[in-house]
């Protein structure tokens, strides 16, 4: 039986990804998908991209890839996008194939009843009919107003804000997401958050689904042996 393997935010932590794949014992027939934010912040962003391409690992688009793509594709808006040294270096070292790969990243991937997105979903959204605003929200969603209608800007959440996954009703499948960092994988009735902050010194987590059974496998930042 092949496994479905979903990785949390990698952010250029290639060594940890390689170690995690060894620990999972990935086989050629397994399907591997990333929740986005595969690059930026970590030490090996460009190498990570090449690795994913070579291994046939899929990903959805993350907000960090989105910013780079805006910079690359919308040359007239470049002056408005401030890239730090890390991002400038990544852009400088991208091959045409890397850019093709990034441009092809979708907002969501659906496999069986699982829906993989970077940030999150709101209950009103229809995946087959997303407008530009919905797409932008999918990349950046964390907290919503108490009624669940309005996205709260990063850092502006209050005690009354609700985390999107806590009120998600499962209407677009069981969602696997990243973007919001947690100490441990976060379980909600119809969603699992996988960003456990590897690039910040915590760990890289994968959700492995095999014959309907789910398990988490993690590698600590800097861990090299399994």
Cα–Cα nearest to 16, from 36, 46, 43: 43
Cα–Cα nearest to 180, from 102, 120, 133, 123: 120
CB of 77 to Mn ion, least distance (A): 21
Closer Cβ to Mn ion, 26 or 143, answer by number:
143
Interface with Mn ion (CB under 5 A): 37, 62-63, 179
CB of 40 to Mn ion, least distance (A): 9
CB of 178 to Mn ion, least distance (A): 6
Measured CA to CA, the distance from residue 141 to residue 148 in angstroms comes to 11
151 DSSP assignment: B
CB of 173 to Mn ion, least distance (A): 20
Measured CA to CA, the distance from residue 51 to residue 187 in angstroms comes to 29
Closer Cβ to Mn ion, 26 or 163, answer by number:
163
Hey, how many other C-beta atoms are within 10 angstroms of the C-beta on 42?
A: 24
Does residue 184 contact residue 197 with C-beta atoms inside 8 Å? no
Closer Cβ to Mn ion, 16 or 37, answer by number:
37
CB of 204 to Mn ion, least distance (A): 14
Report DSSP letters for 164-187, one per residue.
Answer: HHHH--STT-EEEE-SS--SS-EE
Closer Cβ to Mn ion, 3 or 12, answer by number:
12
Any idea of the CA torsion for 170, 171, 176, 181, to the nearest 10 degrees? -70
Please give the C-alpha separations between residue 116 and each of 35, 110, 112, 158, 188, in angstroms, as whole numbers: 6, 6, 11, 27, 15
Closer Cβ to Mn ion, 26 or 206, answer by number:
206
CB of 152 to Mn ion, least distance (A): 15
Closer Cβ to Mn ion, 32 or 37, answer by number:
37
Measured CA to CA, the distance from residue 146 to residue 136 in angstroms comes to 21
CB closest to Mn ion, residue no: 179
């Amino acid at each position: 039986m092949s496994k479905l393997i979903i990785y949390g935010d990698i952010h250029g932590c290639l060594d940890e990804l390689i170690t995690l794949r060894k620990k999972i014992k990935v086989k050629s027939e397994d399907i591997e998908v990333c929740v986005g934010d595969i690059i930026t912040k970590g030490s090996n962003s460009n190498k990570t991209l090449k690795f994913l391409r070579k291994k046939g690992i899929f990903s959805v688009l993350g907000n960090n890839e989105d910013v780079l793509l805006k910079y690359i594709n919308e040359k007239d808006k470049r002056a408005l996008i401030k890239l730090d040294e890390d991002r400038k270096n990544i852009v400088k070292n991208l091959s045409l194939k890397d850019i093709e790969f990034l441009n092809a990243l979708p907002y969501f991937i659906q496999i069986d009843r699982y829906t993989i997105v970077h940030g999150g979903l709101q209950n009103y959204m229809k995946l087959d009919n997303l407008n530009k605003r919905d797409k932008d929200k999918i990349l950046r969603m964390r907290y919503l107003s108490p009624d669940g209608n309005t996205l709260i800007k990063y850092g502006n959440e209050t005690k009354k804000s609700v985390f999107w996954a806590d009120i998600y009703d499962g209407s677009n499948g069981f969602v696997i997401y990243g973007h919001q960092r947690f100490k441990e994988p976060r379980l909600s009735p119809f969603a699992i958050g996988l960003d456990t902050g590897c690039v910040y010194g915590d760990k890289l987590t994968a959700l492995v689904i095999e014959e309907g059974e789910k398990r988490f496998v993690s590698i600590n930042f800097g861990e090299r042996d399994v």
